[in-house]
Amino acid sequence: MATLFGAKINKATLLQHVGQMEQIAGAKVCELKNGPEKGVSAIRVKTGSGFHFTVLPDRGLDISAADFCGKSLCWRSATGDVAPQFFDERGLKWLYGFFGGLLTTCGLSYCGAPGEDQGEELGLHGRVNNTPAKNVSVSCDWKGDDYVMTITGQVLETFVFGPCLRMNRTITATMGESRLFVHDTIENIGYAPSPLQYLQHINLGYPAVADGAELLIPSVTVIPRDAAAENGKERYNSFEAPTKDYAEKCYYHKLAGDRRGYSCAAVVNRKCDGGFGAYIKFALKEFPWFNEWKQMGQGVYTVGLEPANCGVEGRAKDRARGCLDVLKPGQKRQFHIEIGALVGKKEIDAFAKSVKSMTGGKKPTFAKND
């Protein structure tokens, strides 16, 4: 049963108050029409709690805009929702279409820094975010007294004489809630083993990210990626005002989890409207790596929360480390993630208490990157 506008309400009672459920919650399919985003299909979802988000089927079923009661949960880049035909995979040119957003998926056969792996030139963060989905379906229907919005589709990364991977994605949200769930199943549909590098690039932004905001995360070990991150590593979990010529800092986190094997992370701004932020929850067995992207630059002002099955230094680096994930023909991997808003002191304090319970209140140690 949903909680709407401060009260519990069941299906039968709610339907007496509205002529169409879109008055309260639903998913609307539309098409973007302006500039380099022209022709991009979009699905705008609202849950009735004040939580809204936009899914882009033409950009790998990723999530661009997201807000709660008019406050953005994510950072949006200057590029906008660029159509996939402008994609250029060479080197860092992926960034020409990096819209930021609540969720940018990286992969599938490679992600992280550009470079060469076994003679193959690989660009930044892979192809999946710039590949249109097929067999997209949108459903809004009752499940008992819960009204549920569901978006499904398939994204393929297929290459003759190369990797043949298929990602089946399901995104769900329930009326009255301020969260969503993403469930991905990635399958090797080819006849040869394929590397699998998969990373969820969750880009939080103002006003959740602001001067004095903090990262709540159950870190056991924090590993600065490079010399830039080593400088000021003690402030990995605190954020400052936008800074001119800021050099990005990336940190690998080894995380604790709860008794079910789940971990979490959030960025919260306690000064914003009594407290505001965004969180993620995920299973450690599905996401054994976690990267924090701290970017305090002017206009490029974001904190990336990045659960993954890989590092962010490129496929060759993971191969050299001996930790490159490989899917056999017909083999599948499952990935689940929850993303939502934290609103008010009570919700933030409860999340912080949960984080503390995972670590026993111990501060993390710092280690060197190998």
- pLDDT tens digits for 107-157? 999 999 999 999 999 999 999 999 999 999 999 999 999 999 999 999 999
| Of residues 60, 68, 82, the one with CA closest to residue 199 | 60
Kindly give the residue spans of alpha helices, DSSP state H, lying in the chain.
11-17, 227-230, 315-321, 344-359
**pTM exceeds 0.75, yes or no:** yes
**Contact assessment for residue 339 and residue 278, using Cβ atoms and an 8 Å cutoff:** yes
Phi, psi dihedrals of residue 161, rounded to the nearest 5°: 65, 20
**Contact assessment for residue 105 and residue 75, using Cβ atoms and an 8 Å cutoff:** no
What count of other Cβ atoms lies within 10 Å of the Cβ of residue 232? Answer: 13
Tokens of 90: 């060479």
Give the pLDDT score at 162: 87
Instruction: Kindly tell me if the per-residue pLDDT of 188 is higher than 90.
Output: yes
Give the pLDDT score at 1: 81
What count of other Cβ atoms lies within 10 Å of the Cβ of residue 83? Answer: 20
Architecture of domain 2-366: Distorted Sandwich (2.70)
DSSP-assigned beta bridge partners for residue 303: 204, 294
In the three-class reduction of DSSP (H, G, I as helix; E, B as strand; rest coil), residue 106 is classed as strand
pLDDT of 54-89, one tens digit each? Answer: 999 999 999 999 999 999 999 999 999 999 999 999
Cα radius of gyration rounded to whole Å, the chain: 20
24-35 burial: b if 16+ Cβ within 10 Å, else e: bbbbeeeebeee
Domain range annotation of the chain: 2-366
Q: How confident is the model at residue 249 (pLDDT cuts 50, 70, 90)?
A: very high
Rounded to whole angstroms, the Cα distance separating 101 from 77 reads 8
Rounded to whole angstroms, the Cα distance separating 336 from 19 reads 35
